[in-house]
Structures are given as structure tokens and as C-alpha cells.
Amino acid sequence: MLLTPSGSVTFGLHKKRYVKIKINDIKEIIIQKPKLF
């Protein structure tokens, strides 16, 4: 029973980090797009 909450917490932190990386990738694409055109 104790392993489930800690597992969900680590998964939640992992998801937050993944979302942050995705947002940064989108920002980089938006910044680079004007240079391409």
C-alpha cells in the first residue's frame, strides 16, 4: 500500500518534467520558425 502513493508521486514529477520539456520544444520551434521563413 505504501509503494503506490510514492510511485504515483514519482510518476507525477516525471510527467511535470516531460510537460516542461515539451513546452520548451514548442517555444524553440516558435522562435526558430521566423528564421526559416
> What confidence tens digit (pLDDT) does each residue in 3-27 have?
556 566 666 676 777 788 888 888 8
Q: How many helices (H) and strands (E) does the chain have?
A: 1, 0
For residue 26, what pLDDT is reported? Answer: 85
What's the number of domains the chain is made of? 1
For residue 27, what pLDDT is reported? Answer: 87
Unique residue bearing C-alpha cell 510518476: 11
For residue 1, what pLDDT is reported? Answer: 42
For residue 8, what pLDDT is reported? Answer: 61
Domain around 9:
1-37
